Structure 1
Amino acid sequence: MPIDRYWVLTARKTAGEATPEELAELAALAALRDEEARTGEMLEKVWDGHTPQPVDAAEEARLLALLGNRLPEFSERAPGRRKMLRPGSVAFIAAVCVGIFAVVFYTLQHRSVSKHEVLADRGSRTKVKLPDGTRVWLNAGSKLTYDDTYSHGERSVQLDGEAFFEVVGQAGTPFEVTAKNVKVQVLGTTFNLKAYKEDDIVETALVTGSVMLHYKSTGSNESTLLKPMEKLVLKADASTGAYTPQRAPIIVPEKETIKEIAWKDNWLSFDNEPFSDLAVRLGRWYNIRVVFTDDSLRHLTFTGNIQGEGIKDVMDVLSRSSREFVYSYNHVSRVLTISKP
Structure 2
Amino acid sequence: MAASVEYKLSPHPWASNAPSSNLDFFPSTGGKRRSGSETDSDDEDNIPPDWRSLYHPRLEVEPAVKDPRDEATSDAWVRRHPALVRLTGKHPFNSEPPLPRLMSHGFITPAPLHYVRNHGAVPKADWSTWTVEVTGLVKRPARLTMEQLVTGFEAVELPVTLVCAGNRRKEQNMVQQTVGFNWGAAGVSTSVWRGARLRDVLRRCGIMPSKGGALNVCFEGAEDLPGGGGSKYGTSITRQWALDPSRDIMLAYMQNGEPLLPDHGFPVRAIIPGCIGGRMVKWVKRIIVTTAESDNYYHYKDNRVLPSHVDAELANADEGLSTHESYTEERSKQSG
Same fold, judged at TM 0.5 (above): no
TM-score after normalising by structure 2 = 0.22
TM-score after normalising by structure 1 = 0.22
- Report the structure, 1 or 2, having the larger strand content: 1
- Report the structure, 1 or 2, having the larger helix content: 1
